[in-house]
Amino acid sequence: MFHKPTEADGHLFSQAVHSPELPIFGGAIVAAGIANLQGMGTKFIMCGNALQAWTFELAARGKGTQPDIDKFLRAHLLPGVTVVPAMVIAIERAQAAGIRYNKQ
Q: Which domain holds residue 84?
A: 44-96
Query: What distance in Å separates the CA atoms of residue 24 and residue 4, rounded to the nearest whole number?
Result: 17
Shared domain check, 13 and 57: no
Within-domain flag for 1: no
Shared domain check, 55 and 14: no
pLDDT band at residue 30 under the 50/70/90 scheme: confident
pLDDT band at residue 10 under the 50/70/90 scheme: confident
Query: What distance in Å separates the CA atoms of residue 35 and residue 33, rounded to the nearest whole number?
Result: 6
pLDDT at 104 over 80: no
pLDDT at 52 over 70: yes
Residues of the chain above pLDDT 70, percent? 95
Within-domain flag for 11: yes
Within-domain flag for 2: no
- How much is the average pLDDT of 80-93? 92
Within-domain flag for 101: no
Within-domain flag for 32: yes
Shared domain check, 56 and 90: yes
Number of domains in the chain: 2
Shared domain check, 49 and 35: no
Mapped onto helix, strand or coil, the DSSP state of residue 100 is coil
Shared domain check, 30 and 61: no
pLDDT band at residue 28 under the 50/70/90 scheme: confident
Shared domain check, 57 and 35: no
